[in-house]
Each structure stands twice: as structure tokens, then as C-alpha cells.
Structure 1
Amino acid sequence: MINSEYLDVFLDESQEHLQAINDNLLKLEQAPDDLSIVGEVFRSAHTLKGMAATMGFEDLAHLTHNMENVLDMIRNHKLNATSEVLDVVFTAVDDLESMVTDIAGGGNGKRDVSEVVAQLERIEKGESPVKTVEESTQPLQENEVSSVHPEDHLQEDYDEFERTVLEQSFEQGFNAYQVKVSLDERAMLKAARVFMVFEVLEQVGEIIKSTPSAEHLEEEKFDQDFLVTIISNVDGEEIKQRILKVSEITNVIAQKIDVSMLKKVEAETQEVVKVEKKNETVAANKQDKATPPQKKSGNELNKTIRVNIERLDVLMNLFEELVIDRGRLEQIASDLQNNELNETVERMSRISGDLQEIILNMRMMPVEQVFNRFPRMVRSLSKDLNKKVNLQILGAETELDRTIIDEIGDPLVHLLRNSIDHGIETPERRRELGKPEEGTVILKAYHSGNNVYIEIEDDGAGIDREKVLKKAISNGVVSEEEAEKMNDSQVFGLLFASGFSTAEKITDVSGRGVGLDVVRATFESLGGVVTVNSELGKGSVFSIQLPLTLSIIDVMLVEVREEKYAIPLSSIVETAIVNKKEIYSAHNQKVIDFRGKVVPLVFLKDIFSVPGEREEEEFYSLVIIHKGDKVAGLVVDSLIGQHDIVLKSLGNYLTNVFAISGATILGNGQVALIVDTNALIK
């Protein structure tokens, strides 16, 4: 059933229902007597249960059924929607999300949910969801090495070849372990942690299997846990301790495998296959006998369809090739000066321009896709920190290219955690300061020109300018002389220096500065800019400027010697021509006085070591660029003009080229490199 043609629809609708459950549970916590909200949650859960049962995902259906029972008791006034009860329901939703994620990654959706099911059943009986001391006389210890799983069976299924390998290893005197590794939920580079764990395991044995697969792990298509089966002559306790030395690993359980357990799993697998085949036959018969749907009138027809995102990617790639050929045709028409050809090319350019806008709009998604998961995260975090936080989301309908949407989730999570952990004060401290006990964090998105701005604003303690400078000087980030000349924006920018932190103690939630360098690097890799404004005692605002799309961009083409470079228009303030006599030297840096502001000059011929000589001229052509409130002047030989270009990657072998973000093919077939202006401004 897992390979059913309906799987994509099941995954899409499951994610929608889970999001609806999360949103409505948050509303229910604020209005526990509003039974209409309970009804919405119950309907979503009931639909999800039915879909899961139909698709054969019994664990998912079973857990949803238990959750549904508790919701039904609330709906029928047999149970109050207290925070304690909702905590358990939220935990169940977390497990459901993990199951759906596993299914989306090619897994079978199985998960050990015995603890949360037990809690839900205790709630049904009118008991406290938390175990009493008597019920927990022999608790399962964290990081233990066990020889028997809580359900006395393996969490991974093995094919015939894998079982043969395991059985042969037993005969040769080796041990086999199934190792469950849990990552910190705040880990930002999950794939790197997985690689380090695999490296440790390969030093002590041979890896037989991983769930999810190595490919999905590498692409970070998993939640926080993954399973690895390893053959080794090393003791399980030692394997566990070695893995725990990897940073951001929170838990390790090594389960010893023996022959009897393998045989039991093999028998269970064969039985499951029989049941699934029977279910498929029954479902097919039911479908044949089903009454055909009545034809809808024109007004009732659905106006939307689901399209696989990979198809849109293919469409975009084809259109990118069309843009390159369009540029080539425009170049040929310009050279030949044929009126009929010029008219045809102009018409084709207009039509392809309209087509470009349609395709880009098809790829646009509301930032709501990312913002939706934050209310739940803020709820959990504020409880952990004993703070009261009101998250306000504005402009969630603002749209961005899905390529950018996919990348901004983790850095935004880090900035939100940072604001709540270090920005918002405790209720007691806020009372002392005359502030409301509940702190406010505003997450806002809006369009401006060809950019989208995302702002995270809090009414917390703000950033202590002097404290930041003192730390920066002691760490050698800046000198005392430089510190005296820095304005507020420059000082707050120091928070993004690698390893910089003003926190007096390290917390497991965030450190203001710890990881902010990664946040900035992520946004800048997307062509974005991060700025900070703050007022001590009043709060802080982190502002992120992002381009609407990364695929087709407007650039200014420039010439340096015999080479051509493309500078994104979103980074350009203006262009200018200056006399060499207007150039001065300051601190071994060429600068100009441009509109009353000292602007440093960057000579692209030197930065990129462009070969060739050019006759010295009296004037320089400048492209004034900006990064936040910082500006610089790029010195080029000549300005060619504005063009639409297709951004192409340099490939895996050229990932660390300084100040180059990609390349494009021009109309005459020449390759032009695209300048990463953010790298040129320090």
C-alpha cells in the first residue's frame, strides 16, 4: 500500500490536517470553553485517522484514534482542555508529524509511541497523564544499551540479503546492534552530525543499514532520530559512548540483535505482506462497486489542481534555456539590422516576458508555509523558559520563491529562539520594569520593490551597546580605536561575528551570537542582507532583506578588460563616472567623496586577477553597491547595460570561489560571472 498511486495526495492532505490541528490546539488553549474549536480539531483528526487506515499505516491510525478519544471527551464536556491535557495532545501531534515525515521519506511510518498512548489512555480513565512513583519503579534509563526492545521486536525491517549478512556475522562471533541516535532539535547542520556519527561507527564496525536511507539522511529528510544497524566486535556501551562525543547528539540507545529476534521479524513481515495484499484486493473491489460521482455544474468545479513541484522545476529549467536563446536572438537581430527580424524578436521578447512572470508566480509560495510552525515552537519554548510570550504574525500571505522558502526556516527559528531566550525578560523582571508580564514578539513579512523583508521584533531588554563593544575588544574582533568610531548599526553587526556571544551563561536554547554567523551566512547565500536595530530596555528588530526569486535576475553587465561580469540590480545604488583626480587614499584604501559620504573603492581587475592591459583613461566607471547601510564603489572599465539573465551554479568543484555566486550565458554565447557583492563589503 505504501507504493500506492494515492500516496502523494495522502501526504499533502495529512500535512494540511496536522497543520490545522496544531493551529486549532493553540486557539483552544487560549479559549478552552470554545467547543467549535474542539470540533475543528476532532474533524481533522478523524479524517486523518480514516486516511491512514485506508493507506495501511496502522501505527498512525492507532495513535490518532487514541487522540480522537480524548478530543471526544472534551467535546462532550467529560474533560476540561487544561494545559496538562493539551501538552499530551501536542506530543501526540509531534509523533504523528514524525510518522508522516518518515512516510514521505520512503519509510513505513512506524514509531514507538507507547509512552504517549499510555498517557492518552490515562487521561481517558480520568487519571493524571504523568506516571506516579509506583508506576515508574523501573524506568528506562537514557542512553542505555538494551538487549530487548520495549515491544520485543526490531524497529527496522531487513530484506533477505541483510538478514543473511547478520546471521553469518553471528556465526563468526560478531555482535550486531541497532543504534537509535537522537539529534538536538536545535541542530542546524543535521547532515554534518549524521556524517560524524557514521564516521564513528565505521571505525568500530560495518554499517549494514540505516533508516532513513543514507541519501535521505544526507539531504536532511528526517526529523531528529535515525536508526543504524552495525556489525561489530566492540561492546555496545563503548559504541554508545563514542557516539555521544559528537556534539548536538542528545540520546543514544544501542539494542543488541540476536537470531531469534530476526526470525520473529521475518515471520511478522511475511504476515504483513499477506494482509496488505488482501487489503489491496478488498479496496479494489470496493472501488469497482462504488457509485460514480455526479457531474458537477460549471460553478461547482474545483478551480485548482495539485502539481508536483518537480514538474515546475523542469518547466523553469526549460524556460531558463529559452531566456538564453532569446538573448542570442536579440544579439543577432541587433547585428543584422533587419526590420522584420527585429519586429519578430521584439514580439517574442514581450511574450516570453509575460510567460516568465507567469512561471515565476507559479513557483511563488506564501511565507505562511514557514511561519505556521512558529506558534507551536514559541509555546513550547516559553514554557521551557518560564516566560510569557505573545507571538504576532503579520503578512503571512507575502510570497517568495519556493527555493528561498525551503532555506529560511532554520535561520528564522534561530532568530526567534534568540529573541525569546535573550530578548524577552521573565514575568517578574518585566513587572519590575513596569512592562506587561507577557512579552510580545512580532514576526512580519512584506514586499518592497523586488525584495521581501522579514522582521523579527521584540519588546524585551534590547542589546547593550557597551557590553557588545567590551566583548568585541576583549575577543580581538575590533580595536579600541575602531570601536570609538562605530555607530550603533555597526556595533550590533558584531553579533554576527563567528563565535561572538554576550551571554553571561550558555543555554541550551540559544546564545546571542552563537550561531548568528551561520544565520547571516545562510541569508547572504540567498542574496539577502541581515541588519539589527535595538534600543536598550525597549527591544530589538532583526530585519532580513531577500530577493523575490533566485532563478532569473536583473543585472547590470560590466566589462573588465576582455571579460564581462554581472552585478545584481538589487545590490546597486547607482552608477557614476568619476575623474581620477577625485580619488584619495585613506588607511591604504582608495576612496572617493560621493554625495558627502566617504565610499571605498574596489577594483574588480585586482579582485579577480583579470589578465590583459588597457590604455589608462582619465575617468573611472563606478557601480555603487550597498549591503545594509554600508556602501562601496566597484571600479570597472565600462558599463554595458541592464539585462535579464539566468543564474547558473558553478558546480560542485567551484563552490568556494571568492565573490562569485554563479555564472550566466550571454546572447553571444560568452559566459559572464555573477558578482557576489555581499562578499566585497566588509
Structure 2
Amino acid sequence: MDMNAYLSMFIDESNDHLQSLNENLLRLESDPEELSIVQSIFRSAHTLKGMSATMGFEDLAALTHEMENVLDLVRNSKLKMDSFIFDTLFKGLDALEAMVQDIVAGGTGKADVTSIVASLQVILKSDYSASKAAQAPAATAGNAGAAPSNASGAMQLDEFQSSILQQSIESGHNVYHVQVTIRDNCLLKAVRAYMVFDLLERNGEVIKSDPSVQDIEQEKFDFSFSVFTISSLTQEELQGQISNISEIEAVVVTVLDVESLAILSNPSAANAVETSKATSETAVRAEAVREVEAGKGQTAAAAAPAVQAAPANVSRTIRVDIERLDMLMNLFSELLIDRVRLEQLSSEIKRTDLTETVEHMARVSSDLQSIVLKLRMVPVDSVFNRFPRMIRDLAKSLDKKIDLVITGADTELDRTVIDEIGDPLVHLLRNSVDHGIETVEERLAAGKPETGTIYLRAFHSGNHVFIEVEEDGRGINHERVLKTAIKNGVVTEEQAKQLTPDEVNMLIFAAGFSTADKISDISGRGVGLDVVKSKITSLGGNVTIDSAFGRGTKFSVQLPLTLSIISAMLIKLGSEKYAIPLSSIVETGIIRKEQILHVHGNKMIKFRNAIIPLVSLSRVLESPDFNENEEQETEIVVVRKGEKWAAVMVDEFIGQSEIVLKSLGTYLTNIEAISGATILGDGYVALIIDPSALIK
């Protein structure tokens, strides 16, 4: 049987199961005693394992099987969940997602997951399971490293770390004890240590370090440290690569077997050897049983369709390839252009029967347009559902306590917008976690609950969707922002004195702007919120900030419902026709020459108790056959970009119309005021004006 025919279905369903596993594991972490959640997790893992085995992705099936064995003990009350188990299962999920992505990219779904499998097998050991069923331990994989070194120079390992290393040795993997000495004249020894750890983690996994990772990061060590690590590198490769790091004085890499591991980590060497032998025999027997069970499971799965009748009305939904929806939208776009053309011809011919037919066609096509647009609408949940796991991992890495509250996840947006909005939201949420929410100590000192809260909301308003990211953290320090902006040349000291609080808030969207004190994986990397603003602007939206120092910050993102068909105001400029999106228009009007003000060489007009710039569209577009200076009165369109307004001079208003956006590709890329084109009812092409490019 050719399995390639089922590959796209396998990928879609695998992603669904992985998302379900992530969500339910997060729920279980909040309520570890709720066995119904464990049942849901087990079912998803079991289904994923069967699908993977059927498709021939053995590595995917094998890892899922190991995770399933742990979950089976939990659901049968033979094992209690703890932080070590949760962290191991989450690492397993990350590996499964990476395998599926490799399959999407045309790979085989293979990956080196030996360290994760070793951790899962340690959890499955009878002594671990028995102890965890009796009590929930305080020690975890993350804090177990706090145990002090003993006097003899050996590094004390706890029971679980020792078991992981033993399992890895028995499986034939490279296990090393690495001692590193940094030069005593090194000024940034924590940075050099970080480079060593980064090298080790890119090529394997660090099981234990002495001193602890936290102490090393805070430079609470002399000039040497040691680690136990599982690595894909040979002894010579590891020795050479660490030695090549700047300011490393000496490196000693020791290859470990079971006996040397016991001597280094535990004085009871003989007991450790006996334990490892018993564990090895148990692992062999367990593997044999798993192979038999896997064979039975596949046989049963293959036989099931022949004997089980599908119940009526199992599902009233079908999966449709997104390319087909795009094709449907393109065909409807052509239909819309022809409809507008027919309406224009009908008004010219003035035949009653033709007019009635065209009107009926307009009503039907309007209904069809509504259906086509709804088909392309996707709940923002498809983007939001990855954020709880991200917030959990970030909070753990920064040692903060954070709750993420999501509302309005069923709000729908056009697929093209959904595809683009994910990365900006990731930036905003990471900013909220790092810059916004304080540490537990800071929150308690400020009289706040130790757990910070981030709210992620989505809701409709008119023809727009609003997405808000709000947290109850530090808020924006205006004084600090202004100092940084002046230092970076974003504003001058004179300009800074005239800025309103809202304008100061918006300074954090300047390119490369960051108030981070140190570079980290989360912030201070020179890639700031300017990425967010530029992406949202390119989608036809805008973002605003509301902040109160000491109380929190709210980012509000406004997005159009769809980017395919929009309402626009058609205008003339000389002999050419243009379209301006209605979503950017505040109002239209007429001004006389004497109403135009000249401020520092720029044309301005009074509008709603404010002075706003007057933009010459003919100059921007270099239109040769229209000169606004010759006109005594000129029509204007007042457009808005965030909180900034501008009046655009035009020749004549044609009227409102629904238009289909068409990309210009590489044409007119040197004119920033043009965002696309549309075909009008008379068959002519009208360029679409980008109002945000006209407002500086």
C-alpha cells in the first residue's frame, strides 16, 4: 500500500494530537490528581503511536510508546506525577513535534532522543515508581543539582541522575565526566562557562554540574567546574571543541562505565554494579514484551475497519486543502469584477429585464461572497493554543510565577491574517514575561500577589478584530524609556520634553530599542518591538499601548477581518483612478486655498481643533496631469495611522465600492504609497493607496 497518499492526513492529525497532549499536560500540571485528564492524554498518545507505526515512522512510534508506558502507570495509580516527570514528558513532546516537522519537510522523522528515553526508562523503574506512588518528592531534575560536592572531590548524584547515566552507558551511549578550568585572569568567567554548557547541550545533555547551573550563571564559583554529560561526540572531539573556547585553561574528559560512574558519584560501587546488571536484564525483557505488544496492536488496528461499522453522522465536517480555498477565492474575485462591470453596463443600457437580472446576480454574489469569506475564516485559537506552553517554559526559565488567561479564542480572522499574526504575538508575550511581570520577590515587595497574570483577549469590533495582551506587572518607566531613546538617537532632548505619555509609550517600537540590562534568549537581543509594529502595519492594522507605571501594560492590536476583499473609496487624480481603503478614512471634505496654512515650509490645515499635515498625492505619485495649485477648492480625504492624521488632496470622488486586492509583484516597488491594485468595473486597473505611507 502506498502510504504517501495518507501522509497529509497523518501530519494534520499528528499536529492535532500533539496540541491536545500539550494542552492536557498543562491542565494536569495544574491538577495532578485529576485522572480523567490522564485518560485523555493516554488516548492521544496511544492513537499517535498507532498512526506512526502504521505509517512506518518507527522512531516517532517508539518514543510515544515509552511516554505511553509512563502514562499507563499514572492512570493506574502506580505512579504520581512530579516536576521531573512533567519536564521529561514535555521534552518528549518537543521531540515529537520536531520529528513531525521533519516529516513535513520531507524527512524521515528520525531524531536522537536517547537522553529522553533514558529519563523515561528511569521513571519506569520499579523503585522510582514505587517511591513516587507513595509520595510526591520535593527534588526535581531542575533543583536536584543543588546537592553539595563531597569532601573527596566526587560529585554527589541523586538516585534518578545516577540511573539516567547508568541506562545511557548500558545503551552504548557516550557518558563523560568533564572537568573544566578557566584562566584566572578571565573577566567574564560565567560567559565562558555558558559557552561550554551551550556546546555540551547542542551535542547531548548535561545531567549534573558542580557547582549548580544557577551558581555558575551568577559567577558563584572559582575558576573550575565539572559536569556529568551524555554526548554524541567522541572523547577526542569533546576535548578538542571545549579546548577551542577562548580563555579555557584546561579540560579533562573522562569516559565513564558503570563502575567508574559509581566510584565518582557514590561510594557504594559494588551495589551500583549489581543494580545496573539487574536493570539491564529488565530492560531486555521489557523490550521483548513491547515488541510483541506493538505487533498485536498493529494487527488489531489493521483488522478493525473490516469488523466495525461506522455510526451514522459521525462528523459533519471535512478537511479541505487550503490551496482549493485560495483557488475558490480567486475565482470569486473574478466574478466580483465581472459583477461590477455588468452593473455599470446595466446603468448605461437601461433595460428593465437586464437591470433586474443584474440586481438578482448582485444579491446572490453577495451571499456567495459572505460564504467564501467565512470558509477562509479561522479561529484565533489556532494561534493562541501554543502560547500556554510557551509561557510555562518562559516562566520556569526566569523563575517567575505567571498565569495566562485567554478569552475570545473562538474569534475568527481570515487565514492570511492568522498566518502572519503569530510571530508578533510571540514578541508581545515574551516582552510581557521578561519586561512586564516582576519576580516573586519584587511582586511581594510591591504588595502584589506572587503570581503575575497575562491576559490574552480577542474580540470583534466592526470590520476589525482586536487582540489585546495585558499584564499586571511593572508598567512602562517613562523616564527610563526617554533616557534610552535620547541615548540611541531616537529623539532629541528638546523633542523628548514635548512628548505626551502616549507618545513616550510608542517609543519602544523604535528599531532596535531595548531597555534590557543584559542580553538573554528572551530580550535584549537587538530585535525589539519594531518587528511587531512593522508586521502589523503591513497587515493593514495598528498597535497602541496603554500603561501605568507599577500597575501594568496593555498592548492593543487592531487587524482587518480579511485582506482579500475590502471596501474602498474610489478617487480620481487627473486621468488616473485610485482606491483608498475605507478602514483608514476618517472623513472626506473640501478645503479652499485660503484655509491652507504654511508651517516651516509644510502645508497644514485645521481639523477638529488640531493642525494636521496636508499631503499632495499628485507629488507623491508624480501625476503630471493634475496640479492642485491651480484649483481654488480641492477635495480632501482625511486618513489615519494610529493616533496620527493627515489630509490627502484629490481631484474628484467617484464613490465607494468593494474591490479585490491584487498583488503587483515586483512592479512599482519604488513607490511606497502603493500597496496593490484592483480591476474596476470598466476593466481599467486602479492602484490602491497605502495611507500609512503618506503619514510620517
Tell me the TM-score normalized by structure 2: 0.75
Q: CA deviation at 1:532?
A: 1.0
Matches of 1:361 and 1:133, distance apart in 2:
52
Residue in 2 aligned with 1:658? 672
Q: Does 1:338 align with 2:351?
A: yes
Q: Does 1:632 align with 2:646?
A: yes
Residue in 2 aligned with 1:535? 548
Q: Is the alpha carbon distance of 1:401 and 1:613 closer, same or farther for their aligned partners in structure 2, counting shifts above 3 Å?
A: closer
Aligned with residue 588 of structure 1, among 598, 601, 605: 601
Task: List aligned pairs for 1:160-239, cutoff 5 A.
Answer: none
Task: Spell out, residue by residue over 1:253-312, the C-alpha distance to the aligned partner (whole angstroms, 9 max, x if none).
Answer: xxxxxxxxxxxxxxxxxxxxxxxxxx9xx9999979953654745xx3521111111111
Task: Spell out, residue by residue over 1:53-84, the C-alpha distance to the aligned partner (whole angstroms, 9 max, x if none).
Answer: 11111111100000011111111222221112
Residue in 2 aligned with 1:521? 534
Q: CA deviation at 1:113?
A: 1.0
Task: Spell out, residue by residue over 1:387-439, the C-alpha distance to the aligned partner (whole angstroms, 9 max, x if none).
Answer: 00010001000000111111111111111000100000000000000000000
Residue in 2 aligned with 1:326? 339
Q: CA deviation at 1:87?
A: 0.4
Moved more, 425-434 or 518-527: 518-527
Contact 1:530–1:545 (8 Å) recurs in 2:
yes
SS at match of 1:291: helix
SS at match of 1:444: strand
Matches of 2:178 and 2:362, distance apart in 1:
70
Q: Does 1:643 align with 2:657?
A: yes
Q: Is the alpha carbon distance of 1:305 and 1:289 closer, same or farther for their aligned partners in structure 2, counting shifts above 3 Å?
A: closer
Residue in 2 aligned with 1:411? 424
Matches of 2:199 and 2:432, distance apart in 1:
36
Task: Spell out, residue by residue over 1:72-126, the C-alpha distance to the aligned partner (whole angstroms, 9 max, x if none).
Answer: 1111222221112100000000111111122222221111111111111111114
SS at match of 2:603: strand
Q: Does 1:560 align with 2:569?
A: no
Residue in 1 aligned with 2:79? 79
Matches of 2:298 and 2:431, distance apart in 1:
50
Contact 1:38–1:71 (8 Å) recurs in 2:
yes
Matches of 1:346 and 1:139, distance apart in 2:
81
Q: CA deviation at 1:511?
A: 3.4
The one-letter code matched in structure 2 to 1:137 is Y
Gaps of at least 5 residues in structure 1 are: 151-235, 245-278
Q: Is the alpha carbon distance of 1:142 and 1:383 closer, same or farther for their aligned partners in structure 2, counting shifts above 3 Å?
A: closer
Matches of 1:315 and 1:29, distance apart in 2:
44
Residue in 1 aligned with 2:216? none
The one-letter code matched in structure 1 to 2:524 is G
SS at match of 1:5: helix
Aligned with residue 373 of structure 2, among 337, 341, 360: 360
Residue in 2 aligned with 1:489? 502
SS at match of 1:323: helix
Matches of 2:365 and 2:327, distance apart in 1:
17
Task: List aligned pairs for 1:307-326, cutoff 5 A.
Answer: 307-326=320-339
Q: Does 1:549 align with 2:562?
A: yes
Q: CA deviation at 1:508?
A: 2.0
Matches of 1:347 and 1:515, distance apart in 2:
52
SS at match of 2:4: coil
Residue in 1 aligned with 2:14? 14
Residue in 1 aligned with 2:211? none
Residue in 2 aligned with 1:291? 306
Matches of 1:613 and 1:40, distance apart in 2:
68
Moved more, 568-577 or 284-293: 284-293
Matches of 2:304 and 2:517, distance apart in 1:
69
SS at match of 1:4: helix
Q: Is the alpha carbon distance of 1:568 and 1:515 closer, same or farther for their aligned partners in structure 2, counting shifts above 3 Å?
A: same
Task: List aligned pairs for 1:145-164, cutoff 5 A.
Answer: none
Matches of 1:656 and 1:42, distance apart in 2:
56
Task: Spell out, residue by residue over 1:570-596, the C-alpha distance to the aligned partner (whole angstroms, 9 max, x if none).
Answer: 111111112221111223221111121
Q: CA deviation at 1:319?
A: 0.8
Q: CA deviation at 1:655?
A: 4.3
Matches of 2:301 and 2:406, distance apart in 1:
45
Aligned with residue 137 of structure 1, among 176, 180, 189: 176
Aligned with residue 506 of structure 1, among 490, 505, 519: 519
Q: Is the alpha carbon distance of 1:322 and 1:374 closer, same or farther for their aligned partners in structure 2, counting shifts above 3 Å?
A: same
Q: CA deviation at 1:653?
A: 5.1
Matches of 2:299 and 2:79, distance apart in 1:
41
Task: Spell out, residue by residue over 1:640-660, the C-alpha distance to the aligned partner (whole angstroms, 9 max, x if none).
Answer: 111111111111454453121
Q: Is the alpha carbon distance of 1:2 and 1:578 closer, same or farther for their aligned partners in structure 2, counting shifts above 3 Å?
A: farther
Residue in 1 aligned with 2:441? 428
Matches of 1:129 and 1:565, distance apart in 2:
70
Residue in 1 aligned with 2:620? 607
Matches of 1:459 and 1:142, distance apart in 2:
34
SS at match of 2:465: strand
Matches of 1:657 and 1:121, distance apart in 2:
62
Q: CA deviation at 1:475?
A: 2.1
Q: CA deviation at 1:614?
A: 4.8
Matches of 1:376 and 1:285, distance apart in 2:
34
The one-letter code matched in structure 2 to 1:373 is R
Matches of 2:398 and 2:198, distance apart in 1:
25
Moved more, 33-42 or 136-145: 136-145
Q: Number of residues paired by the alignment?
A: 555
Contact 1:363–1:401 (8 Å) recurs in 2:
yes
Q: Is the alpha carbon distance of 1:54 and 1:27 closer, same or farther for their aligned partners in structure 2, counting shifts above 3 Å?
A: same
Moved more, 32-41 or 586-595: 586-595
Contact 2:573–2:626 (8 Å) recurs in 1:
no
Residue in 2 aligned with 1:61? 61
Matches of 1:74 and 1:382, distance apart in 2:
26
Tell me the TM-score normalized by structure 1: 0.77
Q: Is the alpha carbon distance of 1:572 and 1:113 closer, same or farther for their aligned partners in structure 2, counting shifts above 3 Å?
A: same
Moved more, 581-590 or 505-514: 505-514
SS at match of 1:352: helix
Matches of 1:42 and 1:289, distance apart in 2:
20
Moved more, 414-423 or 592-601: 592-601
Q: CA RMSD in A?
A: 2.9
Matches of 2:198 and 2:457, distance apart in 1:
41
Matches of 1:604 and 1:457, distance apart in 2:
38
Task: Spell out, residue by residue over 1:641-681, the C-alpha distance to the aligned partner (whole angstroms, 9 max, x if none).
Answer: 11111111111454453121111111112111111112222
Q: Does 1:441 align with 2:454?
A: yes
Contact 2:590–2:635 (8 Å) recurs in 1:
yes
Residue in 1 aligned with 2:97? 97
SS at match of 2:612: strand
Matches of 2:39 and 2:338, distance apart in 1:
56
Identity %: 56
Residue in 2 aligned with 1:467? 480
Residue in 1 aligned with 2:133? none
Contact 1:502–1:513 (8 Å) recurs in 2:
no
Q: CA deviation at 1:515?
A: 2.4
Matches of 2:494 and 2:106, distance apart in 1:
58
Q: Is the alpha carbon distance of 1:23 and 1:315 closer, same or farther for their aligned partners in structure 2, counting shifts above 3 Å?
A: same
Matches of 1:419 and 1:479, distance apart in 2:
27
Q: Does 1:669 align with 2:686?
A: no
The one-letter code matched in structure 1 to 2:19 is Q
Residue in 2 aligned with 1:231? none
Contact 2:517–2:524 (8 Å) recurs in 1:
no
SS at match of 1:107: coil
Task: Spell out, residue by residue over 1:357-403, the C-alpha distance to the aligned partner (whole angstroms, 9 max, x if none).
Answer: 10000010000000000000000000000100010001000000111
Task: Spell out, residue by residue over 1:495-525, the C-alpha distance to the aligned partner (whole angstroms, 9 max, x if none).
Answer: 1111122223232212398321111111111
Matches of 2:310 and 2:75, distance apart in 1:
36
Matches of 1:398 and 1:573, distance apart in 2:
26
Contact 1:414–1:510 (8 Å) recurs in 2:
no
